[in-house]
Amino acid sequence: MNNCKPLGEATKILLPSYYDKISWGNIWSRKLESGTAFEWAITAATLKAAEKQGFSVSIPLLTEFHAPDYFVLRNEIPQTHGAQVGNSDTMLRSKPLNERFLYCLVPKAILEKDGKYFSLFREGCPYHKIMNGKSYLERTDIIIVPGKPCVGFPQYSQSRNEIIFQYEYENQILEGTLIAKTSPYIPVKKRNPKGGIDILASGIIECSVNKTVEVASEQLSRYKSIFNLGDQLPCFSLVTGNDLSSMPYDTHTINLNTEDSEQIAKELLAASLIIVKNFLL
């Protein structure tokens, strides 16, 4: 594959109801090596797999917030450490700061089955960072956590320049406010519970066109520490363009040397069906 167009076509196959409603920007014209297009194709496959496993899937940025141009931006609370690889710095700077705060708290998708909810975030997990209270720069490619934002949240108070959030997590409501300003620290004005809480991930998916065992091992080791996961191996999956099956994790290799978008979609879906089963069922 010499470009990301087949990945874009595969994503459209996997996400037909939403694909044309999302503002993808230049995702499909970037170099394959950047990995961004591959990550979005895997995200689409994860949502398709969830549907096939009986979950209802909603994309609140489209259905509730009507903000399709924020879908491809990362779920990272704005801070003054600057933009990182994985998103367009120009796109980020062109967006109002208060909207960047507001929409970073909105999951890319919400999954529901039998009254149980899960939220899927891309490139960050803001509620974990707020409630954990620790500063870290690592961003998970795809992370699924229990729960969902409460109806009508997050919301922006223009008079106070604050973002108000409420999140349903494991039979309790996590809530608080953020001040919409850039800072080296997360500008939390208040949170409840005051002492914070350790939000546990249902699953983390790391994606890479080409990643070494050493780099992948180091990444997952850091995630274990950040998310207090210990040796819960079913919580991790690796989807890559190269073979990492020697690692003690759930690994999936996708053939990226083909222009056949239907084949790519088929391979991504097969991997994602296993991942969803491991994470959510």
Of the candidates 223, 189, 193, which has an alpha carbon nearest to the alpha carbon of residue 206? 223
Whether 50 has a pLDDT exceeding 50, the answer reads yes
pLDDT score, position 82 = 45
CB-count burial class (<10 Å; 0-12, 13-18, 19+) for 111: buried
Mean pLDDT of the region 199-226: 94
pLDDT score, position 234 = 66
Whether 92 has a pLDDT exceeding 70, the answer reads no
User: In whole numbers, what is the pLDDT of the chain averaged over residues?
Assistant: 93
pLDDT score, position 3 = 87
What range does the domain containing 101 cover? 5-280
Domain count, the chain: 1
242/183: higher pLDDT = 242
- 68 DSSP assignment: G
Q: pLDDT of 102-125, one tens digit each?
A: 999 999 999 999 999 999 999 999
